[in-house]
Structure 1
Amino acid sequence: MAEHKRIDEATGTSTVGHEWDGIEELDTPMPRWWLWALYVTIVWGIVYVILYPAGPMIHGATEGVFGWSSRGQLQAEMQADAVRRAPVMNAIAATPVAGLPARPELMQAAVQGGAAAFRVHCVQCHGAGGAGVKKLYPSLTDDDWLWGGDLSKIEYTITHGIRNPDHKETRTSQMPAFGREGILESAQISDVVSFVRTISHQEKPGASSARGAVLFEANCAVCHGPTGDGGRQVGAPKLTDAIWLFGGDRASITATVTQPRNGVMPRWGARLDPVTIKMLAAYVYSLGGGEKAPVPAVGAQGPATEERGADGQP
């Protein structure tokens, strides 16, 4: 490789002095507009470092002359938005959750606020539309509720959760592990399953379901009721419809009777403020499965929302 600088006759530009197999590289200067753009960006960078946080430090960055930061701007915008929403939030806070439907505009605002909170805290389990996940998390869109689905009861469950240890107000229902604990033998469990599938209109009555009826009355009716219609006082699910979180087929019911699921729901009262919980209750209520309270229960207390099966029972 030869090195010899010369002026290229065709362009009048000096070469860099390198040659490869007769091919030479021209030392063409950068366009003037490009150089000016480079100089402007250098000046802009220096000015930016002086005015805004940019220089890396051990525990952050230089503050800059303006003292501006994206985090500070976000905080200011959030504070401004909180001031804007304050009248509505105060009105929701001052209205008992059961009284929201009587004030449609306030109820609508609560539903919208609850929808936003639901997307942050609840969709991970209950899904974006509250439809739940089969065999995992209950649907909030149907009208099957372990402890009732009016606004006050929904609010209570969101506040206190399901099976939270060391929290005396949490909702807790306990179904015995009839198989694991040896309360019923395998054949007896099969008969009880036949009876449950009969009252839920999945099987025709037979000798097995007849034997199961006797066992059901002795072991299950105290919670689920003599006809399997459930017991909201103890969170016992209804067994006579077609709504099953963990499945209504024979194998699924057998597994639940043998070893109950005993699902858990966080108590959001320890994480969210009362107004957010009230708005969440309004949103869940609006999904389609909410029930009207049997009596106007302004300020009433009472745990709520779980579809049958969220409690770990069939």
Structure 2
Amino acid sequence: MSEISRVALFGKLNSLGYKAIEGATVFCKLRGNPYVELVHWIQQIVNTQDSDLHRILRHYEVNPSRLAADITAALDQLPRGSTSISDLSEQISDLVERGWVYGSLMFGEVQVRTGHLVVGGLKTGRLRNALLQISKEFDKVKVEDLSDHFAQVVSGSPEDNQAPTDGFTAGAEPGEASGAVAPAAMGKQEALKQFTVDLTDQARSGKMDPIVGRDEEIRQVIDILMRRRQNNPILTGEAGVGKTAVVEGFAQRIVAGDVPPSLVDVSLKTLDVGLLQAGASMKGEFENRLRQVIEEVQSTPKPIILFIDEANTLVGAGGAAGSGGAAKLLKPA
């Protein structure tokens, strides 16, 4: 891969392709695979309702059942047992770059569509081999014919009117909104909307079950939060003992007003670590997202308490070995 920064490169993906990268990252973590591989990404695109890829596969009579079985088999061959994701595979970055090259030079597009990824992948020897290793069904796609009749093959695709996630559109000024959240920059309060869930809202709308038998733990949480210093409670224990239930019980107490006056108007949000890390293996992207969350929490007029589930997964995340990563950003916050 060339020395193009990942932030710039992945910013050329349209929202469908970029969301599929995010989904692939979460899917990879759930499976315990160490790297987000090309097959994770393809699986996520195939599982969307419609895309350029779907229309290409139908046009060239690719067997969907065989393709799905091949994808499952390829996923099952990946190593498992990893507790964290190391990086995106080089093949993914390579494919995005080839898609960008072909999409911009051959089709005059400013976005990278999934159809461009197919063309770029099948026209590049090493990537073609990688796709055929996942499924021989990709060999049915006649890439030269696809290149000549691309517009007709993908006509009516939901990707027709999408834009790159970096916000640049044909004839647009730099920074003009594209309708998708840019991967390296969030709008006002966008980070909180995208990466957190408001537990007090859920409690207020009755979406939580009553919490029983956690009064002592909830009181301890409140006691720690009321301190002037060292006021960050940490819930420890084996999986399934009810740590999250304590937090949900606290949210219900806030909504009921059964808390000290200084906590009555607080909003309790939980940080979705999976979404925060999804697609954030680009250099600096994870730190940018977390920093934006922290800044929005600090600047909002309504006090916010941020609950970080599985906080141990953030230690070292986004940073080089020994740098402390996310922990360093959170410490002064």
Task: With the length of structure 2 as denominator, give the TM-score of the two structures.
Answer: 0.24
Structure ranking higher on relative contact order (CA contacts 8 Å, 6+ apart): 1
Task: With the length of structure 1 as denominator, give the TM-score of the two structures.
Answer: 0.26
